[in-house]
Structure 1
Amino acid sequence: MIAKRTLRAALAALLFSALAVPVANAAAVELMHVHGLAYSPDGKQLTIPSHQGLAIYNGGHWSRAFGPAHDYMGFSVTRRAIYSSGHPAPGSQLVNPFGLLKSSDGGRSWQKLGLEGESDFHVLATSYDTSTIYVLNGQPNSRMSTAGLYYTADDGKNWQRAAAQGLPQSPSALAVHPSNGRMVAAATDNGLYLSRDGGARFQPVSQGAQVLSSTFSLDGKSVWFGSYRQEPQLARLDLSTGKTESIRLPVAGQDAVSYIAQNPAKQREWAIATFKRNVYLSADEGKSWKQIAREGRTLE
């Protein structure tokens, strides 16, 4: 195989501050696992969830987030909130698994959105501005009658099953358009598939390689995706032309891109994480890369 201040700017700054993850100093941070990759809305923090809670990269330094080291899965950040699933930390009184969780204060507190004790969504994606949520459900639960692809536009109060016609197999990763909650991309062993009708029908947009990760650019004009075919690859699909452009990748051998994130405040900046727990930053849309973690060992 993420001078005088106007009232709007002040309010935005407060919101960004609230959504930044609170951190604790740490002598060394090791990435035992990588379960996601996301920037805070102000672009200052890059967050990596894992079995041991949240690791934070900010200003060239790594730290651990305050609070219990929950096992966050399906971690996804929108402009106003964080959504996740997973399992509670050892000794926690929380129900296992979490079901669907939401945090509006950068992970300081979490709101239960249902399905606790029932479902653990490893494959979960959100629309950055509409907050539409898609999940891959592995088995029936109290709100989903069958396994399959589902989405909600009201924080889990109502779930709609997507027919997913044309999708050859269950996706290993999902991505949702930032401003159109009905457009969703699915990464599969047979390529990248795109739906424009809420997952009812999918069409292939890139085939010939095993696609392992994907995300929409925040301007909604392209999809970035990581794949593997004899070697790891990274590419950008232009949604208006359908053309795919290869992006220089600092990864080789038996490794591949597992997560991709774009900085909302500096949209030329991108981050990638790999299956071997290597993490890289690019300030020029993939023309050059800086490594900030090597096989789980964080670099400063």
Structure 2
Amino acid sequence: MKRITFVLLAFLIASVHSASAAGENIGSLSHIHSVRALGNQIILGTHEGLFEYLNEKSVKRISPERFDVMGLAISAKGFYASGHPGAGSKLKDPVGLIFSSDSGQSWKSLALTGIVDFHILETNGKEFYGADSGSGQLMYSSNSGKSWAKRGLNPFTDIAPDPKIRASVLGVKDGKVFRSLNAFKSSSVIKTTFEVDSIDWIEGSLIASSGKVLYESTNAGTSWKKLITLPAPIGTITQSSSMIAVVMNGVIYSASRSNLEFIKHQKK
């Protein structure tokens, strides 16, 4: 069997460390709202803007636009974000849905400017799912954000669009996974043997956390296998085709997909 090597990375550390020349001090980030895996990179959406996680001591600002990145989604086309403008920003408040095709170097407004602040934001191709913090509405777009449909008050704590099937999506509510085949016009429960805290779905891999345990399904949630049990409850989970990352007790664990037996390496 292949093995996945887990590397322990300090995250949201309480003490202040000096940053390397390549990046800023991770201790200077007051709130980290989103964690996304992009290839072998870990991208952070924070109260101070968009950053790349470098190591346990430093991060690198990757966007000159300083804004509160409340929602963050990444696709093959680029970065999508939502939130509030920072000091000196010319963006409207809230920013609605904005897009960057150059890894955060520049942004353009796509939709809902001055109207919506998505705290949950997920995309799959032209499809978008967003939970607006102001109205509480769950919203859906099938045309790259040009128009949006409301699906009522958002009941889900996490959302994962199907990477292959249009309008197919999963949502987590009260420890249960709900499947919809019509972009949340309706949904039904998927039976699992464990309570689900969070989910993330890319082609070939659906992962879910339950307390300290990380699971994976390769058949859209029909069956699951246990990947690893960590020493504390898992928070955010994210993945790319080359890595898995989870947040646990203010720490990021990353895992290479080169192996399938998890080995955890403690910080030295």
Shared fold (TM-score, shorter chain, > 0.5): yes
AA in 2 matched with 1:95: K
Task: Indicate whether 1:55 and 2:40 are aligned.
Answer: no
| Structure-2 residue corresponding to 1:10 | none
**Which has the higher mean CA deviation after the structures are superposed, 192-201 or 170-179?**
192-201
Instruction: Give, in whole Å, the separation in 2 of the partners of 1:109 and 1:278.
Output: 30
Cα–Cα, structure 1 residues 62 and 91, in superposed 2: closer, same or farther, change >3 Å? closer
| Structure-2 residue corresponding to 1:224 | 207
Cα–Cα, structure 1 residues 180 and 163, in superposed 2: closer, same or farther, change >3 Å? farther
Residue in structure 2 matching 1:248, options 219, 228, 241? 228
Residue in structure 1 matching 2:162, options 177, 186, 203? 177
Cα–Cα, structure 1 residues 244 and 81, in superposed 2: closer, same or farther, change >3 Å? same
Given that 1:33 and 1:277 are in contact with CA atoms closer than 8 Å, whether structure 2 keeps it comes out as: no
What is the CA-CA distance between 1:240 and the residue it aligns to?
Answer: 5.7
Instruction: Give, in whole Å, the separation in 2 of the partners of 1:272 and 1:196.
Output: 28
Instruction: Give, in whole Å, the separation in 2 of the partners of 1:214 and 1:241.
Output: 10
Instruction: Give, in whole Å, the separation in 1 of the partners of 2:126 and 2:71.
Output: 14
**Which has the higher mean CA deviation after the structures are superposed, 29-38 or 48-57?**
29-38
TM-score (norm 2): 0.79
Instruction: Give, in whole Å, the separation in 1 of the partners of 2:24 and 2:129.
Output: 37
Greater percentage in strand: 2
Aligned residues: CA RMSD: 2.8
| Structure-1 residue corresponding to 2:131 | 136
Task: Indicate whether 1:148 and 2:145 are aligned.
Answer: no
| Structure-2 residue corresponding to 1:271 | 245
The alignment of Structure 1 onto Structure 2 pairs a total of residues equal to 244
Residue in structure 2 matching 1:195, options 157, 174, 180? 180
Instruction: Give, in whole Å, the separation in 1 of the partners of 2:113 and 2:24.
Output: 34
Cα–Cα, structure 1 residues 154 and 37, in superposed 2: closer, same or farther, change >3 Å? same
Instruction: Give, in whole Å, the separation in 2 of the partners of 1:246 and 1:204.
Output: 20
What is the CA-CA distance between 1:181 and the residue it aligns to?
Answer: 3.0
Residue in structure 1 matching 2:214, options 234, 241, 252? 234
What is the CA-CA distance between 1:79 and the residue it aligns to?
Answer: 0.9
Given that 1:44 and 1:58 are in contact with CA atoms closer than 8 Å, whether structure 2 keeps it comes out as: no
| Structure-2 residue corresponding to 1:5 | none
Task: List runs of 5+ in structure 1 lacking aligned partners.
Answer: 1-23, 141-146, 293-298
Instruction: Give, in whole Å, the separation in 2 of the partners of 1:286 and 1:109.
Output: 40
Instruction: Give, in whole Å, the separation in 1 of the partners of 2:166 and 2:63.
Output: 32
What is the CA-CA distance between 1:133 and the residue it aligns to?
Answer: 0.6
What is the CA-CA distance between 1:57 and the residue it aligns to?
Answer: 3.0
TM-score (norm 1): 0.71
Cα–Cα, structure 1 residues 123 and 66, in superposed 2: closer, same or farther, change >3 Å? closer
| Structure-1 residue corresponding to 2:30 | 32
AA in 2 matched with 1:211: V
Given that 1:132 and 1:152 are in contact with CA atoms closer than 8 Å, whether structure 2 keeps it comes out as: yes
1:192-218 alpha-carbon deviations (Å, 9 max, x no partner): 211122222222224576533211132
Calculate percent identity across the aligned residue pairs: 24
Task: List runs of 5+ in structure 2 lacking aligned partners.
Answer: 1-20
| Structure-2 residue corresponding to 1:212 | 197
Identify the structure with bigger relative contact order (alpha carbons < 8 Å, sequence gap 6+). 2
Given that 1:194 and 1:205 are in contact with CA atoms closer than 8 Å, whether structure 2 keeps it comes out as: yes
1:217-271 alpha-carbon deviations (Å, 9 max, x no partner): 323xx4211233xxx332223426711222213341xx42223222x3x2xx211
Given that 2:213 and 2:230 are in contact with CA atoms closer than 8 Å, whether structure 1 keeps it comes out as: no
Given that 2:126 and 2:145 are in contact with CA atoms closer than 8 Å, whether structure 1 keeps it comes out as: no
Task: Indicate whether 1:282 and 2:251 are aligned.
Answer: no
Instruction: Give, in whole Å, the separation in 2 of the partners of 1:67 and 1:109.
Output: 8
Cα–Cα, structure 1 residues 38 and 139, in superposed 2: closer, same or farther, change >3 Å? closer
Given that 1:83 and 1:100 are in contact with CA atoms closer than 8 Å, whether structure 2 keeps it comes out as: yes
Residue in structure 2 matching 1:261, options 233, 239, 252? 239
Given that 1:214 and 1:226 are in contact with CA atoms closer than 8 Å, whether structure 2 keeps it comes out as: yes
Instruction: Give, in whole Å, the separation in 1 of the partners of 2:76 and 2:184.
Output: 23
Given that 1:47 and 1:54 are in contact with CA atoms closer than 8 Å, whether structure 2 keeps it comes out as: yes
Cα–Cα, structure 1 residues 289 and 183, in superposed 2: closer, same or farther, change >3 Å? farther
Cα–Cα, structure 1 residues 111 and 202, in superposed 2: closer, same or farther, change >3 Å? same
SS in 1 for 2:111: coil
What is the CA-CA distance between 1:154 and the residue it aligns to?
Answer: 1.8
